Amino acid sequence: MLDRTKAPEIKEIDAVSLQVAEVTHLSNGVRLHIIKSETQPVIRLDFVFKAGKVYEQKIGVSDLSAKMLFEGTTNYTAQQIAEKIAFYGASFDNNHGYDRTEYTLYCLSKYVPELLPVVMDVLQNPVFPAEEFSTLKKRNQQNLKIQRQKNNYLATHTFTKLIYGEKHPYIFGYDEGALDAISLEDVNSFYQNNFSLNGLEIFACGAVTEEMEELLISELSKLKAPSDSKRESDIATAVTKGFHTAIDEMPESLQSSIRTGKSFPHITHPDFHRLKVLNEILGGYFGSRLMRNIREDKGYTYGVYSTISPKEYDSLFYIGTDVNFEVTDNTIAEINKEIKLLQDELVSEEELNTVQSYMIGKFLNNIATIFEQADKYKRIILYKLPMEYYSNYITTVRTVTPEEVQQLAQQYLQLEEFKTAIAGKKA
C-alpha cells in the first residue's frame, strides 16, 4: 500500500529517449519522416521548405510569398480553401521564419484523404491573384505601421541591426516602406526559385496506420514544385563593427524597451549546452538573477529575461525588458553588474542545483506529448544534429560545474562586445 507520509524517491535522469521517425525517401527526392502514436486519433503534417528570409532578394518578399499560397490555386479560391479546412475541423497554417517556411496541417487522421489534395494544391498550384495580393500587401503594411509604434518592436528591430548590419536577413521586422517596392512579379519569382523539392522535409506525426502510411507515400511522391534545384544562401554572419548603442526616441512614451546582447556560438558548438545553463542562471527563468535584482529588489520592471535564439547560420544572445524611462540607465547598469558577478564569483552549488533541476524538469515537461517530441526530432533533422543531441543536453546540464559557468561568462559575455538598443523617451 502506498505510504503517503513519505515523499517520492528522487531519481537522477541520465539520458532521455525520444521517439525516432521512420524515414522514407520518396520517388521525387523528398524525405518523409513518420512518427507514430496511437494515443489520439489526430495527425500533424509539416512541410518545411528552405524558403525563409535568408533567400530573399527584396526585404519582405519571402513573407508575402508564403502567405500568397493561401490566396487561391488552380482548383480553389481563398474562400474555398478556408471553408474546406474549417468543414473538417482542421487547421492549415503557415509559419514563416528566417531560414525556412513551414506549412502545417492538423486534423483528425480519418480526414487526411479529403484534406491532403487541398494541401498539395496550395503548395504546388498557387495562382497569385492580383486583387488578393494588393489586399494582403495593404494589410501587412497596416500591421507594420501599428507594430512600429510599439517600443519593444523598435528596440528588437534596431538591436538586430546593430548586430548584423543594415540589410541582413536576420534583422527582426522591417523598416517603414520596405514592402512598397515588392510587386506581384517579385512574389511569384520568389516562389518559383525557392519552393523547391531539394531540401524539402515532410514530417507526419500522430495516428499513422499502415494504410495511412501507404497513402502518404503514394500521394506525397506526386508532389511537384516549380524548381528542382535550390540556390544556397550566401548569408554572412560576421558581427558588425561600429556603434554599440542606438536609441529610437519615443517622446510620448513613459516606458523604454531595452535589448542588449551579442552573437553567440552556433547550436552545434560544443559549448552550446553549457551556455544554456549560464543563460538560465542569468535570466532564463522566474528565479533568475536578473529577475531577483531588477524586478524583485529594484522594482524597475514586471519582467526581464535573457535568451539564446539559434538559427541555421548563427545564434543570438540577448537580454530584454521594459522599464520606466527614468530608470533606463540604472537598469542597464544592473544588467552589467549581474554579468560581472558571474565572471568574478563562482555560482553557489545550491543555486546551480536549483537551475539544473529546473532545466531538466522543464525539458521533460516539454516532451510530454508526441507532437512535442516530434518538434525535438524536427530540430535534430533541420539543424543536422546528432540523434543523441538531447541525451547529451541532459548529461551536460546535470554535470556542469560552477567553474565552467564562470569560465563561460568570462569567455562569452564580454561587455565590450555587447550591442544595446533602446526605444522610448529619453531620461
In a domain, 406, yes or no: yes
Task: Choose one of 220, 254, 272: the last residue of a domain.
Answer: 220
Q: Are residues 253 and 206 in the same domain?
A: no
pLDDT in tens, 87-102: 999 999 999 999 999 9
**Domain count along the chain:** 2
- Per-residue pLDDT of the chain (427 residues), as tens digits, is 566 666 555 556 656 778 889 999 999 999 999 999 988 999 999 999 999 999 999 999 999 999 999 999 999 999 999 999 999 999 999 999 999 999 999 999 999 999 999 999 999 999 999 999 999 999 999 999 999 999 999 999 999 999 999 889 999 998 878 899 999 999 999 999 999 999 899 999 999 999 999 999 999 999 987 766 656 666 655 555 556 899 999 988 999 999 999 999 999 999 999 999 999 999 999 999 999 999 999 999 999 999 999 999 999 999 999 999 999 999 999 999 999 999 999 999 999 999 999 999 999 999 999 999 999 999 999 999 999 999 999 999 999 999 999 999 999 999 999 999 999 987 7
Using an 8 Å Cβ cutoff, are 278 and 405 in contact?
Answer: yes
Which residue type sits at 39?
T
Using an 8 Å Cβ cutoff, are 202 and 33 in contact?
Answer: yes
Helix, strand, coil tally for the chain in percent (to 5): 45, 20, 35
Q: Are residues 152 and 113 in the same domain?
A: yes
The boundaries of the domain holding residue 175 are 22-220
Q: Would you state the pLDDT for residue 176?
A: 78
Q: Would you state the pLDDT for residue 1?
A: 58
Burial class (CB in 10 A: 0-12, 13-18, 19+), 404: middle
Q: Are residues 335 and 401 in the same domain?
A: yes
Q: Are residues 186 and 328 in the same domain?
A: no
Q: Would you state the pLDDT for residue 177?
A: 87
Using an 8 Å Cβ cutoff, are 316 and 309 in contact?
Answer: yes
Which residue type sits at 325?
F
CATH number, domain containing residue 157: 3.30.830.10
Q: Are residues 285 and 342 in the same domain?
A: yes
Give the integer Cα–Cα distance in Å for 216 and 198.
19
Q: Would you state the pLDDT for residue 166?
A: 87
